[in-house]
């Protein structure tokens, strides 16, 4: 029997700027049913989702932030790009549901994943 595939969802788009973020989160949730151990990596402007983000104020679905507690319940680990937080001036003291990760660890995580599903400009560049 083969080992389960290591799946990484890579989200880069701001949750405030594009529905692609919301769709990526929905797809990760659904994909987790058949791929236990799936991981989510928020990088670039996607890290804004872990700050004081209020989707309903900008016309986005309020369910956007409900993904994180579900991910925790389903043991989907959510990693947050530490460098992106710093570039955007966002706080680094996040709830324990989020795992901060540096650039070297991000590269390793992408390199060792069997499948990387990207949502954002990085996915268009072939990462």
**Chunked mean pLDDT (size 10), the chain, 127 residues:** 84 81 90 91 92 68 75 92 95 90 97 92 44
What pLDDT does residue 99 have? 96
Q: What backbone torsions phi and psi does residue 48 show, to the nearest 5 degrees?
A: -60, -25
User: Is residue 2 a part of any domain in this protein?
Assistant: no
For 19, the domain range is: 7-124
User: Is residue 1 a part of any domain in this protein?
Assistant: no
Count the neighbouring beta carbons within 10 Å of the beta carbon of residue 25: 27
Any idea what the CATH number is for the domain that residue 53 is in?
3.40.1260.10
CB-based contacts of 6, cutoff 8 Å, min separation 6: 37, 39, 112, 113, 114, 115
User: Is residue 70 a part of any domain in this protein?
Assistant: yes
What pLDDT does residue 55 have? 65
User: Is residue 45 a part of any domain in this protein?
Assistant: yes
**Number of domains making up the chain:** 1
What pLDDT does residue 66 have? 77
User: Is residue 80 a part of any domain in this protein?
Assistant: yes
């Amino acid at each position: 029997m083969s080992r389960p595939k290591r799946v990484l969802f890579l989200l880069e788009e701001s949750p405030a700027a594009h529905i692609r973020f919301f769709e990526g989160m929905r797809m990760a949730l659904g994909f987790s049913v058949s791929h236990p151990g799936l991981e989510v990596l928020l990088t670039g402007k996607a890290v804004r989702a872990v700050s004081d983000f209020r989707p309903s104020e900008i016309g986005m679905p309020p369910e956007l932030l409900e993904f994180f507690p579900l991910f925790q319940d389903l043991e989907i680990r959510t990693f947050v790009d530490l460098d992106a937080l710093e570039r955007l001036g966002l706080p680094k003291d996040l709830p324990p549901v989020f795992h901060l990760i540096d650039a070297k660890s991000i590269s390793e995580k992408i390199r060792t994943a069997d499948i990387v599903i990207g949502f954002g400009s990085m996915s268009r560049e072939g990462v």
